[in-house]
Chain A
């Protein structure tokens, strides 16, 4: 199975900050990477697919980049609604695998 490693596991930031989360795959997954946001007690929500494509309805302050084994999720200006946990996921092959998550906390 492809292992997905996310960093950092926790991130403290303030409203307005630029935030970057990194995800690394154990082997090349081309651009078959998605990012999700999850709030407590809720299902994950798709933000980014195919590494850099913004899901419909997702604010443009979210962006994704990368290919192969290195990927990033960037929030250009953190908003109060963005405090949540973020997961990367590869869909290059089954088994689907997720990163361990990054919790974005209020500084």
Chain B
């Protein structure tokens, strides 16, 4: 059974940093590209970042470019999102999801940016 489990969310002050993790199981993680998608409270879905299976290709949404860094460790079946210079508008539930068609999602981890 495919499982994606996010962790690392929490309350952080504006300008602070946070590192999210996504633990994958039930499939050959190293064969699949991965994404981070977020959802602000009461709002729609927003794609955040993409990383290819080998980490050779990475994309970011303009809203996070230069502040967020996506990475993965295929040996540990894990995906990461390093978030720096956090802003109020980064407050959201962050999901990791597999492939461009987003066929599997984690349960999400809440990031709250507030003073």
Interface size on A, residues (CB 8 A): 22
How many pairs of A and B residues are in contact by the CB < 8 Å rule?
Answer: 54
Q: Known interface pairs A96-B47, A96-B50, A98-B46. Does A91 touch B107 (Cβ–Cβ under 8 Å)?
A: no
Q: Given the known inter-chain contacts A43-B107, A95-B61, please indicate yes or no for A36 contacting B102, CB distance below 8 A.
A: yes
**Which chain A positions have C-beta within 8 A of B108?**
43
Q: Which residue of A lies closest to B61 (CB)?
A: A95
Number of B interface residues in the complex (CB < 8 A): 20
Main secondary structure of the interface of A (DSSP, over half): loop
B103 within 8 A of A: yes
Name, among B35, B44, B62, B108, the residue most crowded by chain A CB atoms within 10 Å (CB to CB): B44
CB neighbors of A among B70-115 (8 A): 95, 100-108
List the interface of chain A (C-beta within 8 A of B).
Answer: 34, 36, 38, 42-46, 49-50, 55, 87, 89, 91, 94-101
